A and B are shown apart, each in its own frame.
Chain A
Amino acid sequence: MAVFSVFQTTFFLALLSLRTLQSEVLSEPLPWAPESLKVSINSTHQCLHLQWSVHNLAYHQELKMVFQIEISRIKTSNVIWVENYSTTVKGNQLLHWSWESQLPLECAKHFIRMRSAVDDATTPEQRFWSNWSSWEEVDVQNSLGHEPLFVFPKDKLVEEGSNVTICYVSRSQQNNISCYLEGVRMQGQQLDPNVSMFNLHNVAFIRETGTNIYCKVDRGDDIKGIVLFVSKILEEPKDFSCETRDFQTLSCTWDPGRDTGLLKQLPQSYTLFESFSGKKTLCKHKGWCNWQVAPESQEMYNFTLTAENYLRKRSVHILFNLTHRVHPMAPFNVLFKDVSVTNATMTWKVHSTGNYYTLLCQVELYGEGKVIQKHNVSVKVNGELVLSGLEPDTEYSAQVRCANANHFWKWSEWTRQNFTTVEAAPSEAPDVWRNVKSVQGYCVVTLFWKPLSRLQANGEILFYNIVVEDLDRPSGLQLLSVPAPANRTELTLDQRAYQIHVTANNSVGTSPASVLVVSGDPGDDAFRPGVRYNFRIYGISTEMVPYLLEKKTGYSQELAPSDNPRVVMSNLTSHSFTLSWKDYSTESQPSFIRGYHVYLKSKAGQCHPGSEKAVLSDDSVCCKYKIDDPKQKMFVVGNLQPESFYEFLVTPYSAVGEGPHGAFTKVTTPDEYSPMLIRIILPMIFCILLIMILCYLKSQWMKEKCYPDIPDPYKSSVLSLIKSKENPRLTIMNIKDCVPDTIEVVNKHEGTGKSPTEPEAAKPTYLYLLPAEESYSGPGPCICFENFTYNQAASDSASCGHVPVPTKAPSQLGLLTSSENLLTALEKNCMNSLEEIPAGESSLNYVSQVASPVSGDKSSLPTNPPQPELCSEYKMQMAIPLGLAAPSSSGSSSLSSITLLDEGEHYH
Chain B
Amino acid sequence: MQAQLLWRTLPSLVLGLLFLSMPAMGSCSDKYPELLGQLQKQADFMQHTNTLLDLYIRSQGLDKNGLKEHCRERPGAFPSKDALQRLSRRVFLRTLDTTLGQVLLRLAALEQDIPKAQDLEMLSGVKLNIRGFKNNIHCMAQLLPGSSETTEPTPTSPGASPSPTPTLDTFQRRLEGCRFLHGYHRFMRSVGQVFREWGKSLSRSRRHSPHQGLLKGARRMQLSGRNKRLMPRVQLAPGSHRGAPGG
A and B together in one complex? yes
A residues with a Cβ closer than 8 A to B are 151, 154-155, 180, 182-183, 206-212, 214, 216, 221, 223-227, 263-264
B residues with a Cβ closer than 8 A to A are 59-62, 64-67, 70, 113-116, 169-172, 174-175
By a CB distance below 8 angstroms, the chain A residues around B62 are 212
By a CB distance below 8 angstroms, the chain B residues around A221 are 70
Contact: B64 with A182, CB < 8 Å?
A: yes
Cβ distance A817 to chain B, nearest Cβ, rounded Å: 103
Cβ distance B247 to chain A, nearest Cβ, rounded Å: 39
Cβ distance B145 to chain A, nearest Cβ, rounded Å: 46
Cβ distance B156 to chain A, nearest Cβ, rounded Å: 26
Q: Which 8 A-B pairs have the closest CB atoms?
A: A183-B64, A225-B171, A227-B170, A208-B115, A154-B169, A227-B171, A155-B170, A212-B61
Contact: A212 with B169, CB < 8 Å?
A: no
Given contacts A226-B169, A227-B170, 6 further A-B contacts (CB under 8 A): A151-B171, A182-B61, A183-B67, A210-B170, A214-B67, A227-B174
By a CB distance below 8 angstroms, the chain B residues around A225 are 171-172, 175
Q: B112 — nearest CB in chain A belongs to which residue? A: A264
Q: State the CA gap A214–B69 with chains docked (Å).
A: 13
Greatest chain B CB density within 10 A among A208, A212, A263, A264 is at A212
Q: State the CA gap A648–B171 with chains docked (Å).
A: 98
Cβ distance A275 to chain B, nearest Cβ, rounded Å: 37
Contact: A210 with B66, CB < 8 Å?
A: no
Q: Name the contact of B64 in the complex, choosing from A210, A212, A224 (C-beta under 8 A).
A: A212
By a CB distance below 8 angstroms, the chain A residues around B113 are 209
Q: A221 — nearest CB in chain B belongs to which residue? A: B70
Q: A180 — nearest CB in chain B belongs to which residue? A: B66
By a CB distance below 8 angstroms, the chain B residues around A211 are 61
Chain B interface, DSSP helix/strand/loop, else mixed? loop
Q: State the CA gap A183–B115 with chains docked (Å).
A: 22
Greatest chain B CB density within 10 A among A183, A209, A212 is at A209
Contact: A209 with B169, CB < 8 Å?
A: no
By a CB distance below 8 angstroms, the chain A residues around B67 are 180, 183, 212, 214, 223
Contact: B70 with A210, CB < 8 Å?
A: no
By a CB distance below 8 angstroms, the chain B residues around A155 are 169-170
By a CB distance below 8 angstroms, the chain B residues around A223 are 67, 70, 175
Cβ distance A183 to chain B, nearest Cβ, rounded Å: 3
Q: State the CA gap A224–B175 with chains docked (Å).
A: 10
Greatest chain A CB density within 10 A among B59, B60, B171 is at B171
Cβ distance A73 to chain B, nearest Cβ, rounded Å: 24
Q: Name the contact of A227 in the complex, choosing from B70, B114, B169 (C-beta under 8 A).
A: B169
A206-B66 CB under 8 A given contacts A225-B171, A227-B174: no
Contact: B61 with A206, CB < 8 Å?
A: yes
A209-B64 CB under 8 A given contacts A214-B171, A227-B169, A227-B170: no
Cβ distance A207 to chain B, nearest Cβ, rounded Å: 6
Q: B115 — nearest CB in chain A belongs to which residue? A: A208
Q: Name the contact of B61 in the complex, choosing from A154, A210, A224, A226 (C-beta under 8 A).
A: A210
By a CB distance below 8 angstroms, the chain B residues around A212 are 60-62, 64, 67, 171, 174
By a CB distance below 8 angstroms, the chain B residues around A264 are 115
Name 25 interchain pairs, CB-CB below 8 A, sorted by A: A154-B171, A155-B169, A155-B170, A180-B67, A183-B64, A208-B116, A209-B59, A209-B60, A209-B61, A209-B113, A209-B174, A210-B61, A212-B61, A212-B64, A212-B67, A212-B171, A212-B174, A214-B66, A214-B67, A223-B70, A224-B171, A226-B170, A227-B170, A227-B171, A263-B115
Q: State the CA gap A227–B66 with chains docked (Å).
A: 16
By a CB distance below 8 angstroms, the chain B residues around A154 are 169-171
By a CB distance below 8 angstroms, the chain A residues around B59 are 207, 209
Cβ distance A71 to chain B, nearest Cβ, rounded Å: 26
Q: State the CA gap A263–B169 with chains docked (Å).
A: 19
Cβ distance B122 to chain A, nearest Cβ, rounded Å: 15
By a CB distance below 8 angstroms, the chain B residues around A216 are 66
Q: A181 — nearest CB in chain B belongs to which residue? A: B64
Q: State the CA gap A206–B171 with chains docked (Å).
A: 16
Q: State the CA gap A264–B174 with chains docked (Å).
A: 16
Q: State the CA gap A223–B171 with chains docked (Å).
A: 10
By a CB distance below 8 angstroms, the chain A residues around B174 are 209, 212, 227
Q: State the CA gap A151–B175 with chains docked (Å).
A: 15
Q: State the CA gap A490–B114 with chains docked (Å).
A: 86
Contact: A207 with B169, CB < 8 Å?
A: no
By a CB distance below 8 angstroms, the chain A residues around B60 are 209, 212
Q: State the CA gap A473–B114 with chains docked (Å).
A: 103
Q: State the CA gap A182–B172 with chains docked (Å).
A: 15
A183-B66 CB under 8 A given contacts A226-B171, A227-B169: yes
By a CB distance below 8 angstroms, the chain A residues around B64 are 180, 182-183, 212
Q: A153 — nearest CB in chain B belongs to which residue? A: B169
By a CB distance below 8 angstroms, the chain A residues around B170 are 154-155, 210, 226-227
Q: State the CA gap A211–B62 with chains docked (Å).
A: 10
Q: State the CA gap A212–B66 with chains docked (Å).
A: 12
By a CB distance below 8 angstroms, the chain A residues around B175 are 223, 225
Q: State the CA gap A154–B60 with chains docked (Å).
A: 16
Q: State the CA gap A227–B169 with chains docked (Å).
A: 8
Q: State the CA gap A503–B174 with chains docked (Å).
A: 92
Q: State the CA gap A420–B123 with chains docked (Å).
A: 59
Cβ distance A213 to chain B, nearest Cβ, rounded Å: 8
Q: State the CA gap A154–B170 with chains docked (Å).
A: 8
Q: State the CA gap A183–B113 with chains docked (Å).
A: 21
By a CB distance below 8 angstroms, the chain B residues around A183 are 64-67
By a CB distance below 8 angstroms, the chain B residues around A224 are 171-172
Q: State the CA gap A225–B170 with chains docked (Å).
A: 9
By a CB distance below 8 angstroms, the chain B residues around A227 are 169-171, 174
By a CB distance below 8 angstroms, the chain A residues around B65 are 183
Cβ distance A871 to chain B, nearest Cβ, rounded Å: 93
Cβ distance B60 to chain A, nearest Cβ, rounded Å: 5
Q: State the CA gap A214–B113 with chains docked (Å).
A: 18
Cβ distance B222 to chain A, nearest Cβ, rounded Å: 53
Q: A207 — nearest CB in chain B belongs to which residue? A: B61
Q: A222 — nearest CB in chain B belongs to which residue? A: B70
Q: State the CA gap A368–B59 with chains docked (Å).
A: 56
Q: State the CA gap A180–B175 with chains docked (Å).
A: 15
Q: State the CA gap A221–B70 with chains docked (Å).
A: 8
Q: State the CA gap A221–B59 with chains docked (Å).
A: 24
Cβ distance A224 to chain B, nearest Cβ, rounded Å: 8
Q: State the CA gap A214–B171 with chains docked (Å).
A: 8
By a CB distance below 8 angstroms, the chain A residues around B70 are 221, 223
Q: State the CA gap A221–B64 with chains docked (Å).
A: 16
Cβ distance B164 to chain A, nearest Cβ, rounded Å: 15
Q: B61 — nearest CB in chain A belongs to which residue? A: A212
Q: State the CA gap A212–B64 with chains docked (Å).
A: 10
By a CB distance below 8 angstroms, the chain A residues around B66 are 180, 183, 214, 216
By a CB distance below 8 angstroms, the chain A residues around B171 are 151, 154, 212, 214, 224-227
Q: B63 — nearest CB in chain A belongs to which residue? A: A183
Q: State the CA gap A794–B96 with chains docked (Å).
A: 133
Q: State the CA gap A19–B72 with chains docked (Å).
A: 69
Q: State the CA gap A651–B57 with chains docked (Å).
A: 86
Cβ distance A212 to chain B, nearest Cβ, rounded Å: 5
Q: A178 — nearest CB in chain B belongs to which residue? A: B66
Q: State the CA gap A207–B114 with chains docked (Å).
A: 11
Q: A209 — nearest CB in chain B belongs to which residue? A: B60
By a CB distance below 8 angstroms, the chain A residues around B116 are 208
Greatest chain A CB density within 10 A among B60, B61, B62, B70 is at B61
Cβ distance A827 to chain B, nearest Cβ, rounded Å: 111
Q: State the CA gap A207–B64 with chains docked (Å).
A: 14
By a CB distance below 8 angstroms, the chain B residues around A214 are 66-67, 171
Cβ distance B173 to chain A, nearest Cβ, rounded Å: 9
By a CB distance below 8 angstroms, the chain A residues around B114 are 209
Cβ distance A233 to chain B, nearest Cβ, rounded Å: 19
Cβ distance B170 to chain A, nearest Cβ, rounded Å: 4
Q: State the CA gap A62–B62 with chains docked (Å).
A: 58
Q: A262 — nearest CB in chain B belongs to which residue? A: B115
By a CB distance below 8 angstroms, the chain A residues around B169 are 154-155, 226-227
Q: State the CA gap A206–B58 with chains docked (Å).
A: 12
Q: State the CA gap A206–B64 with chains docked (Å).
A: 13
